[in-house]
Amino acid sequence: MEANPKVRVLVPLSPGFEEIEFVAVVDILRRADIDVVTAGLPKGRGPIEGSHGIAIAPDVDWEEVDLASITAVVLPGGPGTRRMGEDARLLALVRRLAEEGRPLAAICAAPLVLARVGVLEGREATSHASARKELGGAKVIADRRVVWSGNVLTSQGAGTAVEFALALVAAWVSPAKANEIAAGIVHTGHTPK
């Protein structure tokens, strides 16, 4: 299977990212042959430490990314979310993609980044319980693990990371591919329809 030409996804890495949310998303999207690039927000390609002491090296430094080629962003949560929400380069990319109606996805506390640039205004969204009061004008849906609102997908946290990633595969490739991956990783709960 060739990479999906319709979507080129950027997943940023910022110190304090939630490891499960990053690894599960990148792994599952790559299993679906979706073109994913991981980029470190700090300068350099060196390993970036997550919120639980696991260090992961991004594919490239942020400065090496051809931002014009990026058609979607997936934001992992964790304490690193605050740093992402202060990065002018990332905020500019999210704004551009939002204006173009491109896919945006955020999990755990990362919907705060979307809220910061107004993407969640008037939309249904979910997040980790600790971030829900800061989602601005979003219509917060606390009882759903994964929430689609137009081109924006949000999810609650590390425990929903696989379901979140499978929802992206279902939308960007096909529900059949998402179900194939779910079966292959023996994921039996909360699979896409």
Q: What is the mean pLDDT of the chain?
A: 93
Q: How confident is the model at residue 6 (pLDDT cuts 50, 70, 90)?
A: confident
Tokens 């979003």 — which residue?
A: 138
Retrieve residue 21's tokens: 């949310």
Tokens 């997908």 — which residue?
A: 153
Give me the domains of the chain, ranges plus CATH numbers. 4-184 (3.40.50.880)
Catalytic residue (one of 108, 112, 135, 168): 108
- pLDDT digit string, tens, across residues 25-76: 999 999 999 999 999 987 767 899 999 999 999 999 999 999 999 999 999 9
Tokens 């980044």 — which residue?
A: 113
Q: How confident is the model at residue 192 (pLDDT cuts 50, 70, 90)?
A: low
Closest CA to 77 of 49, 28, 35, 110: 110
Cβ(146)–Cβ(124) under 8 Å? Answer: no
Rounded CA separation 132/125 (Å)? 9
Q: How confident is the model at residue 2 (pLDDT cuts 50, 70, 90)?
A: very low
- pLDDT reading at 100 higher than 70: yes
pTM summary value: 0.93
Catalytic site includes residue 108: yes
Q: In this structure, what is the dihedral angle of CA atoms 95, 16, 67, 162, given to the nearest 10 degrees?
A: -80
* pLDDT at 179 (0 to 100): 95
